[in-house]
Amino acid sequence: MSLYGTDLLALLPELIIVVTACLVLALDPITPASRRDLLAWLSVGALALCLGLTGWQISVLNVRVSAFSDLVVIDAYARFWKILLYGVTGVIILLSLPYLKAERIHLGEYYGFILLALSGMMVMVSGADLLTIYLGTELMSISLYVLTGFNRSKPRSLEASAKYFVLGAFSSGILLYGISLLYGMAGSTKLASIAVAIGTRGADDPLLLIATILVAVGFGFKLAAVPFHMWTPDVYQGAPTSVTAFMAVAAKAASFAAFIRVFVEGLGGLKADWSLLFLLISVVTLVLGNIVAIVQTNIKRMLAYSSIAHAGYLLIGVVTFSGAAVAYYLVAYLLMTLLCFAVLVVVGNSGGSDQIEDFAGLAKRSPFLAFAMLIGMISLAGVPFTAGFLGKFFIFDAAIRQHQTMLVVIGVITVGCGFYYYLKVVRAMYWLTPPADSQPVPLSALSRLTMTLLIAAIFVLGVYPQPILNALDQPAARATISMFR
Amino acid sequence: MHSGGFPWLSLLLALPLAGAVAMYFVTESTARWIALVATLADLLVALPLWWLFDPQASQMQFTEHVAWITAPPIYYSLGLDGISLPLVLMTAAIMPLCVLASWSAITTRVQGFMAMLLVMETAMVGVFVALDFVLFYVFWEAMLIPMYLLIGVWGGSNRLYAAIKFFLYTLAGSVLLLVAILVLYFYGGHTFDILALSQGTYPASLQMWLFLAFFAAFAVKVPMFPFHTWLPDAHVEAPTAGSVILASILLKMGTYGFLRFSLPMLPDASRAFTPMMVALSIIAIIYGAYMALAQVDLKKLIAYSSVSHMGFVTLGLFVLNQQGIEGAVLQMVNHGITTGALFLCVGMIYERTHSRLIADNVGLAAPMPQYAVLLVIFALSSLGLPGTNSFVGEFLVLVGTFLWSKVATAFASLGIILAAAYLLWMIQRVVFGVPAPHHLPKLRDLNKRELATLVPLALFVFWIGLYPNPLVSRMHQSVTHTIASMSRAKVPPTAHPSAGGTAPLLVDSGEQLKTQGTSR
């Protein structure tokens, strides 16, 4: 097996994560309940190790490395997303620790499944073959089905898990069907071979179009784009909050990363066709996501619709072929969504529910938490000097360059809707009077530090985005991120 | 980097922001002092600009130019000309007065209130000095949240409604502004530089759309009829300092926007829309005045008088001649001083009687003689009595309008007569009226802090009224330049070096992608 030596080396981060996940699952039964924290720290340690490894890979081999006869590719694009995913997963594990204890579901499997989902995401972002990407997607999704139903004593959590599973399995089937059609047409599931086959057969082949539509539908479910968004609100609301955060942030980023790679590297020849399809999808996603979010009273549901709406903005970036804008937007989205969920998790720890009205007077009870939520909300809304503003700005800028003025007009009008529902939360926190028996929400030093760092990152990205723009514009990163240009 | 030596304008932006950050660490009583020191320091930085400013030059002065984001090219680019100089100085002068006016009126969350005031100051000065369109937009949008909080947290009983209304109106306008900015960037040679964009020529149909998008943003801010309905609500519910900021500075952003962007960038559309703009201005003048006549609430009365007075400013701008525009700029400053002062007066009486109704504040001349004198001065200034500031501005606007149309002038003059009616009637009741016997007010006159707030404004009223020349001479070159740029020789924007190649069309990039795909 020495043949695979270098290949295994390239996949070392994935292997570490999978081994750690198995280790956590194996150690769980023999770990006393009082020492389960160690499992969380073990997971964080593995993430730190991978972060170091991937960082080292960047500095040593800043090129595209293919492994396992082109099934997997490690390029700057994949490394960019992996590093983000490590960071996000680490933050979520740290936030989960007190939350799981408060919810009395502190079981070792949790960390095992988080890591398994992460390994799936890592495979997704570096897959160069449709089947590899499919395997990654399934590994991620199945772990998430389990995590969604993790709170076994709550019917809502189980219901969400069942719904997520049925719809997810359905969408996987559609995706697989699309992949099989592409295989039939190209004789291979490798993205590069499919691109070649499209080149020789021409873009008008009806079989190709049907396959593209099926693949788009399959990914549409994962991205929660309208009209494939139906599962999102129920699952976001029912899942344990830390899992919702993981889904909203990490799963979304990985799905987008894989989606862009498939449609650019594999189906790039059909750009004229799929860009029209995604144009329509992005418009309905923007309008529906933003308008339905207005009437939500549960903050997790509202964030579910907001995540749908943000998928719409990201799709604008995709249809206008601006990889750098999409990447910047996703980073901004990760930061601000993570911040909002961090506050939700901490409030949930002390028994608070997630109705918007239960945030009444949070500013009086816990000024720091309210401030963190305020920053998260105004950044999601897109107020200047936050990351969210520049994210939207770059997306709209890209759209204007492609003469999509109407798309931008729809985009900015929905931004207006967004302001309304994000400020509803701000209103509750700062203006409504807190219930008489309310207590300050306890906040650990670690959570406070995490939130402070997230707030700082949101402002740094919003005021001085040049470093990250440079990182996205490096020759190596440009390979895929800005390959549409 | 800086082409003008010392970074005056950056300092002007940084000082209030530093004060706002400091609010995080201090107690309530020190918060007031820090806010006062920060705003006064800002005024001290702004004052030398008055003398350092070269009135003979029409180009931007004190410019700063630093790259902010490289792709798309956005610069941290600042500068002052004769149009923005008076507005920046006015902002710097009004803000310490706002802090003083809130000294005892604001008792809850003082640090937060002062921080919001200071953030507002940075954003407002930023709007007036920004020379990059994105930077301008960023400051423009950055004002929304603090103002929303100022009204919504520290406002009156119906504050939430007013805050949301203010927010949605202004937001709806400004998002379209963003689209217009991006479109201009695309057609104007891939730059956000306001001066470069003002040199470009754009197709007439595009100009029409852009004008309407600008109009949506600026007309709401002014506010022009029929987009004025948020203003009375916002004024009535806002705390005194909020009302003053709103009336004195925020409303000027709209007219400043017309003058800085609509006129030079879209000259053909501006000319085409002149009849509509003049008509809307005259409707605002007369309608605002009639509404003011009917008000029983002092703040609402002044709010509607603002609609009327701002009508004069838009009228002056859109008759598109030297007198009209100079009068409009002058009137922007005048309205800032006079209406700001009137709102301060109402705030002071509200602190004493806890009512803004005219009926509850009758006959103040006897218990509060100093107050009565100042109120009469500001009311007379507002109605445009010769010798006060507004007379000069309104006179210039009417002269400009006369050159454009005599009929329009006749209608606009009605506004002055109506202003005399509603203001003198208000004075008659509030100052000289006879209170009901059980209602005899036992009120103390103005204290030193309140005098310090009002007297400087009264001095400005007479200074501009009697000797406006220093102010007019400083804006003269810039106004001439603006008018000249409206009839400039047309330069196609494609001449710009960066215009080619940066944004390949769909087809190009598709082919590029195909070759990439096959080579792999």
* Residues of chain B with C-beta less than 8 angstroms from the C-beta of A327: none
DSSP state of A250: I
Look-up of token digits 């003083």: B100
Contact B513/A at CB under 8 A: yes
Respond yes or no on whether the N-terminal peptide bond of residue B223 is cis (omega within 30° of 0): yes
Q: Is B75 helix (H, G, I), strand (E, B) or coil?
A: strand
How far apart, in whole angstroms, are the C-alpha atoms of residue B299 and residue B237? 9
Q: Which residues contact B123 (CB under 8 A, 6 or more apart)?
A: B139, B140, B142, B143, B146
Contact B514/A at CB under 8 A: yes
Q: What pLDDT score does B69 carry?
A: 82
The one-letter amino acid code at B390 reads: S
> Could you give the maximum distance between any two Cα atoms of chain B, in Å?
96
Sign of the torsion formed by the C-alpha atoms of A199, A205, A209 and A215: negative
Residue B121 within a domain: yes
DSSP state of A240: -
Residue contact B513–A465, C-beta within 8 A: no
Instruction: Identify the band that residue B233 occupies on the pLDDT scale cut at 50, 70 and 90.
Output: confident
Contact B21/A at CB under 8 A: no
How far apart, in whole angstroms, are the C-alpha atoms of residue B76 and residue B131? 8
How far apart, in whole angstroms, are the C-alpha atoms of residue B316 and residue B284? 13
Residue contact A268–B513, C-beta within 8 A: yes
How far apart, in whole angstroms, are the C-alpha atoms of residue A329 and residue B69? 15
What Rg, from alpha-carbon coordinates, does chain B have?
23
The answer to whether residues B317 and B259 touch, using CB atoms and an 8 Å cutoff, is yes
* Residues of chain A with C-beta less than 8 angstroms from the C-beta of B142: 383-385
Residue contact A384–B514, C-beta within 8 A: no
Min distance A21 CA to chain B CA atoms (Å) = 35
How far apart, in whole angstroms, are the C-alpha atoms of residue A206 and residue A356? 48
Residues B112, B118, B124, B128: what is their CA dihedral angle, to the nearest 10 degrees? -160
* Residues of chain A with C-beta less than 8 angstroms from the C-beta of B168: 416, 419-420
Q: What pLDDT score does A476 carry?
A: 44
Residue B283 within a domain: yes
Cα angle value A430/A431/A433 (rounded, 5°): 105
Which tokens in the block code for residue A172?
A: 């996987």
User: CA distances (Å), A8 to each of A4, A72, A176, A326, B90, in order?
Assistant: 6, 11, 27, 31, 69
Q: What pLDDT score does B437 carry?
A: 65
Left if phi > 0, otherwise alpha if psi is -120 to 50, otherwise beta: which for A104?
left
Residue B369 within a domain: yes
User: CA distances (Å), A48 to each of A16, A52, B379, B519, in order?
Assistant: 11, 6, 69, 37
Residue contact B516–A483, C-beta within 8 A: yes
Contact A400/B at CB under 8 A: yes
Residue contact B168–A321, C-beta within 8 A: no
Min distance B380 CA to chain A CA atoms (Å) = 40
| Number of structural domains found in chain B | 1
Residues B128, B129, B133, B137: what is their CA dihedral angle, to the nearest 10 degrees? -50
Share of chain B above pLDDT 70, in %: 92
Which tokens in the block code for residue B281?
A: 């201005």
* Residues of chain B with C-beta less than 8 angstroms from the C-beta of A394: 72
Residue B510 within a domain: no
Contact A466/B at CB under 8 A: yes
Q: At what angle do helices B322-353 and B298-318 cross, to 10 degrees?
A: 170
Most confident residue range from A67-71, B7-11, B200-204, B285-289 = B285-289
| Continuous H helices in A187-322 | 191-201, 206-223, 231-238, 241-246, 252-261, 271-294, 299-319
Share of chain B above pLDDT 90, in %: 9
Respond yes or no on whether the N-terminal peptide bond of residue A227 is cis (omega within 30° of 0): yes
Domain around B392: 8-486
| Range from A465-479, B283-297, B453-467, B477-491 carrying the lowest mean pLDDT | A465-479
Contact A433/B at CB under 8 A: no
Residue B3 within a domain: no
Buried b / exposed e across B194-214, counting CB within 10 Å, b at 16+? Answer: bbbbbbbbbeeebbbbbbebb
Q: Which of A:126-155 have CB within 8 Å of B?
A: none
Min distance B307 CA to chain A CA atoms (Å) = 25
Contact B172/A at CB under 8 A: yes
Question: Does pLDDT of B506 surpass 60?
Answer: no
Q: Which of B44, B174, B103 is nearest to B448 (CA)?
A: B103
Q: At what angle do helices B84-101 and B110-129 cross, to 10 degrees?
A: 170
SS (H, E, C) B331-370: HHHHHHHHHHHHHHHHHHHHHHHCCCEHHHCCCCCCCCHH
Left if phi > 0, otherwise alpha if psi is -120 to 50, otherwise beta: which for A224?
left
Q: What pLDDT score does B441 carry?
A: 60
Look-up of token digits 């494939």: A228
Q: Which of A122, A218, A209 is nearest to A171 (CA)?
A: A218
Q: Is A404 helix (H, G, I), strand (E, B) or coil?
A: coil
The one-letter amino acid code at B334 reads: N
Question: Does pLDDT of B412 surpass 50?
Answer: yes
Residue contact B510–A272, C-beta within 8 A: yes
User: CA distances (Å), A183 to each of A138, A270, B515, in order?
Assistant: 19, 16, 22
Question: Does pLDDT of B516 surpass 50?
Answer: no
Q: Which of B98, B76, B230, B211 is nearest to B165 (CA)?
A: B230
Look-up of token digits 């009901």: B436
B182: nearest CB among A195, A408, A416: A408
> Could you give the maximum distance between any two Cα atoms of chain A, in Å?
72
How far apart, in whole angstroms, are the C-alpha atoms of residue B184 and residue B491? 15
Contact A245/B at CB under 8 A: no
Q: Which of A:353-372 have CB within 8 Å of B?
A: none
Cβ–Cβ contacts within 10 Å for residue B245, how many? 28
User: CA distances (Å), A120 to each of A45, A85, A90, A239, B1, in order?
Assistant: 19, 11, 16, 20, 48
Residue contact A199–B517, C-beta within 8 A: yes
The predicted-structure confidence for B251-287, as pLDDT tens digits, reads as follows 899 999 998 888 888 888 888 888 999 999 999 999 9
* Residues of chain A with C-beta less than 8 angstroms from the C-beta of B171: 416, 419
Cβ–Cβ contacts within 10 Å for residue A323, how many? 23
A378: nearest CB among B145, B504, B517: B145
Min distance A324 CA to chain B CA atoms (Å) = 10
Residue B518 within a domain: no
Q: Which of A:167-196 have CB within 8 Å of B?
A: 192, 195-196
Most confident residue range from A131-145, B77-91, B342-356 = A131-145
How many A×B Cβ pairs under 8 Å? 107
Residue B57 within a domain: yes
Contact A199/B at CB under 8 A: yes
Contact A402/B at CB under 8 A: yes
Instruction: Specify the pTM.
Output: 0.85
Look-up of token digits 């029929």: B226
A83-86: Cβ within 8 A, 24+ apart? A83/A51, A83/A54, A83/A55, A84/A253, A84/A331, A84/A334, A85/A118, A85/A121, A85/A122, A85/A125, A85/A250, A85/A253, A85/A254, A86/A47, A86/A48, A86/A50, A86/A51, A86/A54, A86/A118
Q: Which residues of chain A have pLDDT under 70?
A: 1-4, 58-64, 351-352, 473-485
DSSP state of B108: S
